[in-house]
Amino acid sequence: MPPSTSGPSASPSPATLPPALNIGALDRLLAPLNTDQLLRQVIVDAFPSRTVVTTSFGAESAVLLTLIAKTDPATPVVFLDTGYLFAQTLTYRDELVRHLGLTDVRTITPDPGDLAREDPEGDLHKHDPDRCCRLRKHLPLENALAAFDVWISGRKRFHGGDRASLPRVEIDGRYLKVNPLADWSEAAIARAFTDTGLPRHPLIEHGFTSIGCFPCTEPSGTGGYSRAGRWPGRDKTECGIHAPNGRYNPE
């Protein structure tokens, strides 16, 4: 079943998380749980109908999405189509959705009015990539996540940089953010693909190890995960969606 281009009719906004949520206590409570148990505790037991997953359908995305499908295939999954994605990524999205049986994949896109006003020539990425990321990723994502309180991401510590000390659970603005694969190694990710026969992103065989928008991504070689191919030649390693505590500011 192909992913929908818009989610189902909006339901009433769920109650927000308590402002005094003790993230340290929650982290200790969840620490003994393995990844499967953590996801079930969050999606099924603690926060039903309040949890959303974001994914790029990139080089490693299939691992988290497999675990989500096993926990509850109806879990909302949000995918950002910036308008600059590789055609192979869109094809891979459709293949994985069918393969895993995910039933609520929501493909979201930038607002056409925002694009016409702020990027009429489609070249904003060339001279202001931070603002381009905000226009094509942050703004549409803010709208798509508004009805949820818990946000699951696929980030991992071995990615390095700001992710090197990534916790399994954290507070990011108004969201409880859960990073169930934070402590997974690169070898564990590779084993997951092999053990389950997961299809791989077609660009991997061409040397892409981290896959984003085509104007800002190039091959980074083979032999392991690397974000070196993202925003090549620039002092930029993240799009800013996962800036600590929502502190991203393109100004």
The set of catalytic residues is 239
DSSP secondary structure, 102-139, as one string? -S-EEEE---HHHHHHH-TTS-HHHH-HHHHHIIIIIH
Q: How far apart are CA 192 and CA 59, in angstroms?
A: 13
Query: Strand 169-172 and strand 175-178: pairing?
Result: antiparallel
Is residue 239 a contact partner of residue 153, using CB atoms and an 8 Å limit?
A: no
Q: How far apart are CA 192 and CA 183, in angstroms?
A: 14
Exposure class string for 77-96: b at 16+ Cβ within 10 A, else e: bbbbbbebbbebbeebbeeb
Is residue 109 a contact partner of residue 42, using CB atoms and an 8 Å limit?
A: no
Q: How far apart are CA 55 and CA 69, in angstroms?
A: 13
What is the token pair recorded at 201?
Answer: 């992103």
| Main-chain dihedrals φ then ψ at residue 172, nearest 5 degrees | -130, 100
Nearest residue to 151 (alpha-carbon basis) of 204, 100, 222, 76:
76
